Amino acid sequence: MTTVFSMLQHSTCPEDLTFHFLSAHDDAPKLFSSIKSTFPYLKMKIDRFDSNRVRGKISKSI
């Protein structure tokens, strides 16, 4: 939330920003509700994170 707020606050055109969030669990509606209640004017999309799509592409040491 602080990152989103900072980006909105320091952007010259915050109305042009669109955020994409990834949800690792089936809590997307709760996540959407939390973000929307904090930033009602925010353009955003929440996608479900599919670990199978990135398996083997991200180092386990990170």
Please report where in the chains the tokens 């320091």 appear, as a residue. 10
Residue 25 placed within a domain: yes
What tens digit of pLDDT does each residue of 1-49 get?
A: 788 888 888 888 888 888 888 777 777 788 888 888 988 888 888 877 8
Which residues constitute the domain of residue 43?
A: 15-50
57 occurs within a structural domain: no
Q: Is residue 37 part of a domain?
A: yes
The reply to whether 4 falls in a domain is: no
Number of domains in the chain: 1
Is 56 part of a structural domain of the chain? no
Q: pTM surpassing 0.85? A: no
* Residues 51, 28: Cα–Cα separation, whole Å: 16
Task: Determine, yes or no, domain membership for 28.
Answer: yes
Length in residues, the chain? 62
pLDDT beyond 80 at 59: no
